[in-house]
Amino acid sequence: MNTDRYTYRVTWSAADDSHIGLCAEFPSLSWLDKSPESALKGIRKLVATVVTDMVASDEEVPEPLSEKIFSGKFVVRVPTEVHRLLAVQAAEQGVSMNRWVSVKLAA
């Protein structure tokens, strides 16, 4: 399986005094290293090892987020006051509430 399609990122950890390599599809995995490049290389290698082990054990391997098909719809429950506030803001902006919430989420 091609592990290049997974979602990787590197962030700094002051507590560890290191860069941390992460993979969104494998939230329990991380790789600490002194340079961001080494942290990325480490997490990619770790994910490849884990995927190889999962395949060998006939375990279900997570689908890369980059290959998932999203509908563009999801339901979010909010308090009635928030719903009212969003409706008012959308009306003031002259856009639908869906459009307004989409803009707010993207910000």
Domain extents for the chain? 3-66, 70-106
Query: pLDDT tens, 24-47?
Result: 999 999 999 999 999 999 999 999
Give the mean model confidence (pLDDT) for residues 95-107. 94
Single pTM value for the model: 0.76
Q: State whether the Cα torsion 3-6-12-16 is positive or negative.
A: negative
pLDDT above 90: percentage of residues in the chain:
97
Task: Report the alpha-carbon distance of residue 42 to residue 54 in Å, rounded.
Answer: 18
Give the mean model confidence (pLDDT) for residues 72-97. 94
Query: pLDDT tens, 38-72?
Result: 999 999 999 999 999 999 999 999 999 999 999 99
